[in-house]
Structure 1
Amino acid sequence: MSTSSPTSAVRAPRTARPAHQSSKPNGQWAVDGREPLNSNEAMKAQDNGLNVRERIEQVYARQGFDSIADDDLHGRFRWWGLYTQRKPGIDGGRTATLEPQELEDRYFMLRVRVDGGALTTEQLRTVGRISTEFARGTADITDRHNIQLHWVQIEDVPEIWRRLEAVGLSTTEACGDVPRVILGSPVAGIAADEIIDPTWAINEIARRYIGDPELSNLPRKYKTALTGHPSQDVVHEINDVAFVGLVHPELGPGFDLWVGGGLSVAPRLGERLGAFVSEERVPEVWLAVTRLFRDYGYRRLRNRARLKFLLADWGAERFRQVLQDEFLGYALPDGPPAPPPTRSGDHVGVHEQKDGRFYVGAAPYVGRVSGPSLLAVADLAESVGSTRLRLTPYQKLLVLDVPAEHVGTVVDGLRANGLEAEPSPFRRSTIACTGIEFCKLAIVETKAAAVRVVDSLEERLGDLDALTPIALHINGCPNSCARIQTADIGLKGQLVQDEEGRQVPGYQVHLGGGLASANREEPGLGRTVRGLKVTVDGVAEYVERVVRRYVADRADGPDRPETFAEWAHRADEEALQ
Structure 2
Amino acid sequence: MPPSSAQPGKATTAAAPRRRRGEGQWALGYREPLNKNEENKKNDDGLNVRDRIINVYSKGGFDSIDPADLRGRFRWFGLYTQRAPGIDGGKTAVLEPEELDDRYFMLRVRIDGGQLSVAQLRAIAEISRDHGRDTADITDRQNVQYHWIRVEDVPAIWEKLESVGLSTTEACGDTPRVIMGCPVAGVAEDEVLDPSEQIRQIYDEHIGSPEFSNLPRKFKTSLSGCTVHCVNHEINDVAFVGVRNEAGETGYDLFVGGGLATNPMFAKRLGTFLRPDQVSEVWAGVAGLFRDYGYRRLRTRARIKFLIKDWGAEKFREVLEKEYLGYELPDGPEPILDPGVRRDHVGVHRQNDGRFYVGFAPKVGRVSGTSLLRVAEIAEEHGSDRVRTTPDQKLIILDVEEERIASISAALESEGFEVDPSVFRRQTMACTGIQFCKLAIVETKDRASTLIDELEKRLPDFEEPISINVNGCPNSCARVQVADIGLKGQLMLNERGEQVEGYQIHLGGGMGLTQAFGKKIRGLKSTADDLPDYVERVLRRFQTQKEDGENFAAWAARADDADLK
SS of the residue aligned with 1:107?
Answer: strand
- The range that moved more, 474-483 or 414-423, is 414-423
Q: How is 1:27-38 mapped onto 2 (pairs within 5 angstroms)?
A: 27-38=24-35
Q: How is 1:67-86 mapped onto 2 (pairs within 5 angstroms)?
A: 67-86=64-83
Answer yes or no: is 1:277 the counterpart of 2:274. yes
Q: 2-side partners of 1:490 and 1:412: how far apart?
A: 32
Q: 2-side partners of 1:22 and 1:301: how far apart?
A: 18
Q: 1-side partners of 2:443 and 2:167: how far apart?
A: 29
Kindly indicate whether the alpha-carbon contact (under 8 Å) linking 1:425 and 1:470 is maintained by their aligned counterparts in 2.
yes
Q: How is 1:359-508 mapped onto 2 (pairs within 5 angstroms)?
A: 359-464=357-462, 467-508=463-504
Identify the match of residue 534 of structure 1 among 526, 539, 553.
526
Aligned residue number for residue 106 of structure 2 = 109
Unaligned runs of 5+ in 1: 1-18
Give the counterpart letter for 1:507 in structure 2.
Y
Give the counterpart letter for 2:64 in structure 1.
S
Unaligned runs of 5+ in 2: 1-15
Give the counterpart letter for 2:380 in structure 1.
E
Aligned residue number for residue 566 of structure 1 = 554
Between structure 1 and structure 2, the one with the greater Rg is 2
1:461-517 deviation line (CA, Å, top 9, x unaligned): 1133xx22200000000000000000000000000121122221000000000112x
Give the counterpart letter for 1:199 in structure 2.
S
Q: 1-side partners of 2:96 and 2:19: how far apart?
A: 31
Identify the match of residue 337 of structure 1 among 324, 329, 334.
334
Q: 2-side partners of 1:536 and 1:48: how far apart?
A: 42
- From the superposition, tell whether residues 139 and 256 of structure 1 become closer, same or farther in structure 2 (CA, over 3 Å): same
Q: 2-side partners of 1:170 and 1:414: how far apart?
A: 27
Q: 2-side partners of 1:353 and 1:251: how far apart?
A: 22
Give the counterpart letter for 1:332 in structure 2.
L
Return the offset for 1:345: 2.3
Identify the match of residue 53 of structure 1 among 47, 50, 74.
50
Aligned residue number for residue 222 of structure 2 = 225
Report the identity percentage: 60
Aligned residue number for residue 9 of structure 1 = none
Q: How is 1:285-304 mapped onto 2 (pairs within 5 angstroms)?
A: 285-304=282-301
Kindly indicate whether the alpha-carbon contact (under 8 Å) linking 1:26 and 1:32 is maintained by their aligned counterparts in 2.
no
Return the offset for 1:343: 2.7
Aligned residue number for residue 180 of structure 1 = 177
Q: How is 1:166-177 mapped onto 2 (pairs within 5 angstroms)?
A: 166-177=163-174
1:323-351 deviation line (CA, Å, top 9, x unaligned): 11111111111012111136322100000
Kindly indicate whether the alpha-carbon contact (under 8 Å) linking 1:369 and 1:418 is maintained by their aligned counterparts in 2.
no
Q: 2-side partners of 1:498 and 1:394: how far apart?
A: 32
Kindly indicate whether the alpha-carbon contact (under 8 Å) linking 2:198 and 2:279 is maintained by their aligned counterparts in 1.
yes
Q: 1-side partners of 2:118 and 2:398: how far apart?
A: 11
Return the offset for 1:21: 9.3
Identify the match of residue 515 of structure 2 among 518, 523, 526.
523
Q: 2-side partners of 1:199 and 1:22: how far apart?
A: 47
Return the offset for 1:555: 1.3
- From the superposition, tell whether residues 411 and 51 of structure 1 become closer, same or farther in structure 2 (CA, over 3 Å): same
1:236-262 deviation line (CA, Å, top 9, x unaligned): 100000011110113611111000000
Give the counterpart letter for 1:172 in structure 2.
T
SS of the residue aligned with 2:529?
Answer: helix
Q: 2-side partners of 1:23 and 1:38: how far apart?
A: 18
Give the counterpart letter for 1:540 in structure 2.
P
- The range that moved more, 531-540 or 243-252, is 243-252
Q: 1-side partners of 2:110 and 2:411: how far apart?
A: 26
Give the counterpart letter for 1:42 in structure 2.
E
Q: 1-side partners of 2:416 and 2:315: how far apart?
A: 49
Q: 1-side partners of 2:445 and 2:453: how far apart?
A: 13
- The range that moved more, 248-257 or 231-240, is 248-257
- From the superposition, tell whether residues 21 and 81 of structure 1 become closer, same or farther in structure 2 (CA, over 3 Å): farther
Q: 2-side partners of 1:311 and 1:229: how far apart?
A: 26
Q: How is 1:147-166 mapped onto 2 (pairs within 5 angstroms)?
A: 147-166=144-163
Q: 2-side partners of 1:97 and 1:21: how far apart?
A: 36
Return the offset for 1:20: 11
SS of the residue aligned with 2:341?
Answer: coil
TM-score by length of 2: 0.96
Aligned residue number for residue 239 of structure 1 = 236
Return the offset for 1:88: 0.8
Return the offset for 1:22: 6.6
Q: 1-side partners of 2:248 and 2:283: how far apart?
A: 20
Q: 2-side partners of 1:522 and 1:256: how far apart?
A: 19
Answer yes or no: is 1:356 the counterpart of 2:354. yes
Aligned residue number for residue 210 of structure 1 = 207
SS of the residue aligned with 1:490?
Answer: strand
SS of the residue aligned with 1:274?
Answer: coil
- From the superposition, tell whether residues 22 and 485 of structure 1 become closer, same or farther in structure 2 (CA, over 3 Å): farther
Q: 2-side partners of 1:565 and 1:82: how far apart?
A: 37
Q: 2-side partners of 1:134 and 1:380: how far apart?
A: 23
- The range that moved more, 256-265 or 403-412, is 403-412
Q: 2-side partners of 1:482 and 1:355: how far apart?
A: 34
Give the counterpart letter for 2:207 in structure 1.
I
Identify the match of residue 41 of structure 1 among 38, 41, 51.
38
Q: 2-side partners of 1:522 and 1:258: how far apart?
A: 17
Give the counterpart letter for 1:562 in structure 2.
E
How many residues get paired?
A: 549
Answer yes or no: is 1:511 the counterpart of 2:515. no
Runs of 4+ in 1 over 4 A off after TM superposition: 19-22
Q: 2-side partners of 1:330 and 1:245: how far apart?
A: 21
Kindly indicate whether the alpha-carbon contact (under 8 Å) linking 2:22 and 2:30 is maintained by their aligned counterparts in 1.
no
1:431-474 deviation line (CA, Å, top 9, x unaligned): 0000000000000000011110000000111133xx22200000
Q: 2-side partners of 1:20 and 1:216: how far apart?
A: 37
SS of the residue aligned with 2:272?
Answer: strand
Q: 1-side partners of 2:349 and 2:547: how far apart?
A: 31
Answer yes or no: is 1:328 the counterpart of 2:320. no
Aligned residue number for residue 4 of structure 2 = none
- The range that moved more, 349-358 or 339-348, is 339-348
Q: 1-side partners of 2:352 and 2:247: how far apart?
A: 26
Give the counterpart letter for 2:307 in structure 1.
L
1:145-165 deviation line (CA, Å, top 9, x unaligned): 100000000000000000000
SS of the residue aligned with 2:152?
Answer: helix
Kindly indicate whether the alpha-carbon contact (under 8 Å) linking 1:25 and 1:32 is maintained by their aligned counterparts in 2.
no
SS of the residue aligned with 2:273?
Answer: strand
1:379-399 deviation line (CA, Å, top 9, x unaligned): 000001100011110001000
TM-score by length of 1: 0.94
